[in-house]
Amino acid sequence: MKRSKFAAAFATVVLFFAGVAISAETNKTTVRIEQKITVDGKTLDSGKYTAEWTGDGPSVQVTLLRGKETVATFAAQIQQEATPNPTDAIGTTAGPDGSKQLASIYPNGKRISIQLSSTGGA
């Protein structure tokens, strides 16, 4: 009887931590930047970044990391898409000085896009 209670408690703990790990993975994506872009008033060099977002509703807070270093934090809106994104991608707009500015992030395999809020820029 004690073994079955222990096994049930152990299984509950394992499932809890598996759920936490899965939910943590669902709110991040890899972002490849092919040329210099501006985000949150900062110029980012080309390379591989990680975008992580927090928040439940359509409004989220996005942290952009290069390795373990935070390079930008900004407000954004989650927008539902009709079909899953086929790859990780970004969208840009032209800034007033002609530079490229990050406008959106499209996480691979998800039916969402992350649209930067107009107040999130410089």
Q: What integer pLDDT is reported at residue 120 of this predicted model? A: 41
Q: Please report whether residue 11 resides in a domain.
A: no
Does the pLDDT of residue 118 top 70, yes or no? no
Please check whether residue 3 lies inside any domain of the structure. no
Provide the domain limits for residue 57: 29-120
Is residue 70, in this structure, part of any structural domain at all?
yes
Query: For residue 46, is it within any domain?
Result: yes
**Is 15 among the domain residues?**
no
- In the predicted model, what is the mean pLDDT of residues 52-72? 94
> How many structural domains are present in the chain?
1
| Cβ contact 46:35 at 8 Å | yes
Dig out the tokens for 114 from the structure: 């992350």
Cα 87-84-65 angle, rounded to 5 deg: 50
Banded pLDDT at 87 (limits 50, 70, 90): very high
